[in-house]
Chain A
Amino acid sequence: MEESAGENAPPLIIEPRATEPRATEPRATEPLTIDGHWAFDYTYFAGAAASRFFAELAARRIMGSRCPQCERVLVPARGFCDACFVETTDWVQVSPHGTLETFTILTTSFPGLPEPPLVVGYVALEGASTAVLNFVDGIDLTDPDAAGAVLLRRPRVTARFTGACEGRITDFVFTLDDPA
């Protein structure tokens, strides 16, 4: 048993159990492990606001919803403003142009998703009060440090719709306005 993670880790408070079993216990039993797997199918309901947001994406428009109280334009559009706790009212198309606020380069692989490395980032689109997450495409990731240094400068980006839009967040990606 490995008892601690680092040399500065606090000592274990729990003592390992005695190796000698009591007379009433079976001796030298191999610890049992079994495999488990969860695989359930869910149907998630997007609701009215998100359904319209994704339908607008299929039409190659990025839409936000405006809070009547704080007047923020929330992107992706949603049915209520959680800061003011009121229903949103107006729908507003925001610009596909914006600034990469922050990003990370992912190296984890998930079934059904593009193979890493992947750049994912939050972009503040013109006309929006919140940032929206998506992949940032077209970055040379041969040298992640070099790529990261470019992206840390908060470059201008544009949302580009790719292929057949089907009303999903992956209908668009961000690309750098100045790839150099």
Chain B
Amino acid sequence: MRPVYLHGSAVSTTWRDASRSLTDLIFDCVSAALREAGLRAADLGAIVLAAHDLVDGRGLTSMVTAPAAAAYLRDETRLGDDGALAFVLGDARVRSGSVDTCLVAAWGRASEGPVDEISHALFDPFTARPLALTEIAVSGLRAARCLGDYPGYDRCRGAAAARRGARPADPARTPAAAWPLRAAELPVWADVVAATVLSSSPGPVRVAGVGMSTEPYDLGDRDLTGLPALRAASAQALAAGGAHAAGVDILELDGLTLFDEALAAEAVGAVARGEGMALLASGDRVNPGGGYAAGYCAPAMGLVRIAGAAARLCEAATARTTALATGSSVVAAQVQAAVLLEGA
């Protein structure tokens, strides 16, 4: 197995920019990642894409969008899953020696479609859709359980949300609430594209470990606050890199809402169960760029978190500094991926 390095990354977060099509947004972001990596499209050995037909409103969306991600006449794989899982697959392509360089890109354009209706359509037509379930509703279910189990969540939620800064006034960018979630705890919908470039050549950030795991589909069969798939995925990534969660310097954790981020902090082992909200309220170790409130659209967010972790590592400019980034898939974070990065 060869070492894998992250050479370039880019994130584009916009809203309803009528001057650019979805393919324009992808082309621009992928171009920026390639520029940062000092590579051209012709240098890429493989491309892995994460996109979702329902979000894009296009059947087999990557047929339309893949050429904008430099896939023309190249080895390309398409996932209908989160960008962090695409990153894990890209890492495997390079680590195994099948290619020397791999571009990973993911996107979602919330401004083009009805996010709540799309989210509702993702759920089981027999047992969940008739009960009006959406992704936000699942976050509401998790949040209520947290408030019942952990007194610290209610005590710290205001301070934690306040750290995420001002929100856009446009009501189209905030989903309908699901009690107990408050407006400041809900995602800010955005048009998001992320791209990263992986290579076997030494670069500024090394991929030290990756992990993936899947929970049952049925939410009634899940530990809604324990996030066992994220626990398993992060444990795999940390073990592969010989690291422990307590020693990881930087955390970039995907979560649809404030409560989901707090639970993710617990699941990766950064704090004990029940302490996640206090961690978010107390400092900038997790998602200082704003996380869920800085612009959200599945399935791009895991790759956004990885790009954010890489950027923070480069800012730190200290060898051996570590960062853990995670990504969670629809539906209801059933599939989780974790990536451990290290300043090279």
**Per-position contact with A for B118-141: 1 when CB-CB < 8 Å, else 0?**
001000011110111110110011
What is the bound-complex CA distance between A46 and B126, given in angstroms? 8
What is the bound-complex CA distance between A36 and B117, given in angstroms? 14
What is the bound-complex CA distance between A50 and B133, given in angstroms? 19
Shortest distance from the beta carbon of A21 to any chain B beta carbon, whole Å: 11
Check if A5 sits within 8 Å of B141, measured CB to CB: no
Check if B117 sits within 8 Å of A4, measured CB to CB: no
Check if A133 sits within 8 Å of B133, measured CB to CB: yes
Check if B126 sits within 8 Å of A17, measured CB to CB: no
Check if B128 sits within 8 Å of A154, measured CB to CB: no
Check if B220 sits within 8 Å of A122, measured CB to CB: yes
Q: Which residues of B contact A (CB under 8 A)?
A: 10-20, 25, 28-29, 32, 57, 116-117, 120, 125-128, 130-134, 136-137, 140-145, 147-148, 163-168, 170, 173, 175-181, 188, 190, 216-221, 224, 288-290, 293-295, 308, 311
Q: Please pick, from A8, A44, A54, A107, the residue contacting B177 in the complex, using a CB distance under 8 A.
A: A107
Q: Which residue of B lies closest to A32 (CB)?
A: B18
Q: Which residue of A lies closest to B288 (CB)?
A: A8
A-B contact pairs, 11 of them (CB 8 A): A2-B14, A8-B165, A14-B28, A17-B19, A33-B18, A103-B144, A105-B179, A107-B177, A108-B134, A130-B220, A148-B144
Beyond A33-B18, A105-B178, A107-B178, whether A134 also contacts B224 by CB under 8 A is no
What is the bound-complex CA distance between A103 and B133, given in angstroms? 11
In the bound complex, residues from chain A placing their C-beta under 8 Å from that of B163 are 8
Check if B178 sits within 8 Å of A133, measured CB to CB: no
What is the bound-complex CA distance between A135 and B288, given in angstroms? 37
Q: Does A12 make an interface contact (CB < 8 A)?
A: yes
**Contact residues on A (Cβ < 8 Å of other chain), bracket:** 35 or more
Check if B144 sits within 8 Å of A152, measured CB to CB: yes
Q: Is the interface of A mostly helix, strand, loop or mixed?
A: loop
Q: How many A-B residue pairs have CB under 8 A?
A: 189
In the bound complex, residues from chain B placing their C-beta under 8 Å from that of A118 are 132
Q: Does A25 make an interface contact (CB < 8 A)?
A: no
Shortest distance from the beta carbon of B256 to any chain A beta carbon, whole Å: 13
5 further A-B pairs in the complex, CB-CB below 8 A; given A106-B176, A106-B178: A7-B166, A9-B295, A10-B289, A13-B32, A44-B126
Beyond A44-B126, A113-B132, whether A106 also contacts B137 by CB under 8 A is yes
Closest 9 CB pairs of A and B: A104-B140, A105-B179, A31-B18, A6-B165, A131-B220, A7-B165, A9-B294, A102-B145, A8-B165
Q: Please pick, from A1, A44, A120, A154, the residue contacting B133 in the complex, using a CB distance under 8 A.
A: A120
Q: Which residues of A contact B (CB under 8 A)?
A: 1-10, 12-14, 16-17, 31, 33, 36, 38, 42, 44, 46, 50, 54, 74-76, 78, 82-83, 101-108, 110, 113-114, 116, 118, 120-122, 130-135, 144-145, 148, 151-154, 168-170
In the bound complex, residues from chain B placing their C-beta under 8 Å from that of A169 are 126-127, 130-131
Q: Which residue of B lies closest to A152 (CB)?
A: B148
What is the bound-complex CA distance between A79 and B292, given in angstroms? 37
Q: Please pick, from B18, B125, B136, B218, the residue contacting A130 in the complex, using a CB distance under 8 A.
A: B218
Check if B13 sits within 8 Å of A9, measured CB to CB: yes
Beyond A46-B126, A107-B178, whether A8 also contacts B10 by CB under 8 A is no
What is the bound-complex CA distance between A118 and B293, given in angstroms? 26
Q: Please pick, from A2, A17, A44, A153, the residue contacting B168 in the complex, using a CB distance under 8 A.
A: A2
Check if A104 sits within 8 Å of B178, measured CB to CB: yes
Q: Please pick, from B15, B19, B311, the residue contacting A2 in the complex, using a CB distance under 8 A.
A: B15
Which of B167, B179, B294 is most buried by chain A, counting CB atoms within 10 A of its CB?
Answer: B179
What is the bound-complex CA distance between A3 and B190, given in angstroms? 10
Check if A2 sits within 8 Å of B137, measured CB to CB: no
Check if B142 sits within 8 Å of A102, measured CB to CB: yes
Check if B130 sits within 8 Å of A12, measured CB to CB: no
What is the bound-complex CA distance between A95 and B18, given in angstroms? 55
What is the bound-complex CA distance between A74 and B216, given in angstroms? 12
What is the bound-complex CA distance between A17 and B290, given in angstroms? 26
What is the bound-complex CA distance between A169 and B11, given in angstroms? 42
What is the bound-complex CA distance between A113 and B178, given in angstroms? 16
In the bound complex, residues from chain A placing their C-beta under 8 Å from that of B168 are 2, 5-6
In the bound complex, residues from chain B placing their C-beta under 8 Å from that of A74 are 221
Q: Please pick, from B116, B134, B137, B148, the residue contacting A154 in the complex, using a CB distance under 8 A.
A: B148
Q: Please pick, from B14, B128, B132, the residue contacting A106 in the complex, using a CB distance under 8 A.
A: B132
